[in-house]
Amino acid sequence: MSERTNQEWLDDLQGSNKDEAITDLRDILIRGLQYSLSTHTRGDIELLVEDFAQDALIKILDKLDTFRGESKLTTWAQKIAIRVAYTELRRKRWQDVAMEDLLPEDSGPDFTPAFLTDPQATPEQQINQRMIVETVMQTIEENLTDRQKTAMQAIMGGGMPLEVAAERMGTNRNALYKMIHDARKRLKRELLAKGLSTDDILAAFDSA
Amino acid sequence: MELNVEILKKMARAIATTTDKEIGCDDCFEFVDIFVESQLQGKNPAEAMPLVEAHLNRCANCHEEFEALLVAIKATTDNNH
């Protein structure tokens, strides 16, 4: 397979060498996906990889005019193929799991903050740390919407991929990230206003 | 809604490490190919693109795809030589 410059790829993919260039690009996508998915997915991945490469090729050709040439075209194309493959794999892996199933029925194991088992901590320090934990919990309860809590529960607690949670919530991955970022910023601001620093929060939730 | 203790701990860490200026998944995706090439060239993309680096450290999905792209590019580059 010949090495092409970005301009040669663009010319070939859009010109008279289109069929050959597409075949070459498909081969590269397939090889890249085979390597990246071999450590990620069990079982026979040959058919999966061919499907992913084909779906990715359609997107790549569709987006070709947005390629800015800041990386190799083949790297840019493989980025799209990886996104196509991982999105589909995540969707399949989580298709039978409802978000509601990821919400805890009880409060889980007892939380033992480090300060409670720290023999060096004075009673005063212990009371202080306990107040920090309670303040953080209260601030979360008071400032998050149910939608934000549901998303954070599913993603942080249940391990649900961001884009799967986004799809279930009728939004997209980027918008859900922004929603959670807004929630985090708000909580941090509230906690700072209550006199809790970043170090205070990290120390109080550092469990034994 | 009751918050599970494990989630509280993760949320506390996430809150504490939150910065006002974070990029989302779309912006990260825009730059991750440049980030990967830079890393494979032995440069320090984290220094040149700190917001991408921070997002990759925070977003499990984007990090997973970054690692996969790294493997794919290494594999296809090695095989071309």
List, as own/partner pairs, every contact residues A128-133 make where C-beta atoms lie below 8 angstroms and the sequence separation is at least 24, other chains included: A129/A203, A129/A204, A132/A196, A132/A200, A132/A201, A132/A203, A132/A204, A133/A204, A133/A205
**Over the stretch A23-56, which tens digit does the pLDDT of each residue have?**
999 999 999 999 999 876 666 788 899 999 999 9
ipTM: 0.91
Residue of A nearest to B37 (CA): A71
CA-CA distance, A146 to B58, in Å (whole number)? 22
For chain B, helix (H) and strand (E) counts, in that order, are 5, 0
pLDDT of residue A31: 96
Tokens, residue A164: 């799967």
Mind listing the domains of chain A with CATH numbers? 6-93 (1.10.1740.10), 101-204 (no CATH)
The larger pLDDT score, comparing residue A22 to residue A38, is at A22
> Is the per-residue pLDDT at B56 higher than 50?
yes
Residue of B nearest to A83 (CA): B65
Judge: A109–B80 Cβ closer than 8 Å, yes or no. Answer: no
DSSP assignment of A67-117 equals: --SSS-HHHHHHHHHHHHHHHHHHHHHTTT--GGGGS-SS--SPP-BHHHH
Q: In the A/B pair of chains, how many CB contacts fall below 8 A?
A: 156
Q: List CB contacts (< 8 A) between A138 and chain B.
A: none
Judge: B7–A153 Cβ closer than 8 Å, yes or no. Answer: yes
Judge: B1–A106 Cβ closer than 8 Å, yes or no. Answer: no
Predicted model pTM: 0.87
Distance from CA of A111 to the nearest CA of B (A): 6
pLDDT of residue A207: 53
Least confident piece of the model among A30-44, A84-98, A166-180, B65-79:
A30-44
Judge: B73–A174 Cβ closer than 8 Å, yes or no. Answer: no
Distance from CA of A21 to the nearest CA of B (A): 16
At a CB cut-off of 8 Å and minimum separation 6, what does A4 contact?
A12, A21, A24, A73
Least confident piece of the model among A17-26, A44-53, A119-128:
A119-128
Judge: B61–A173 Cβ closer than 8 Å, yes or no. Answer: yes
Judge: B75–A157 Cβ closer than 8 Å, yes or no. Answer: no
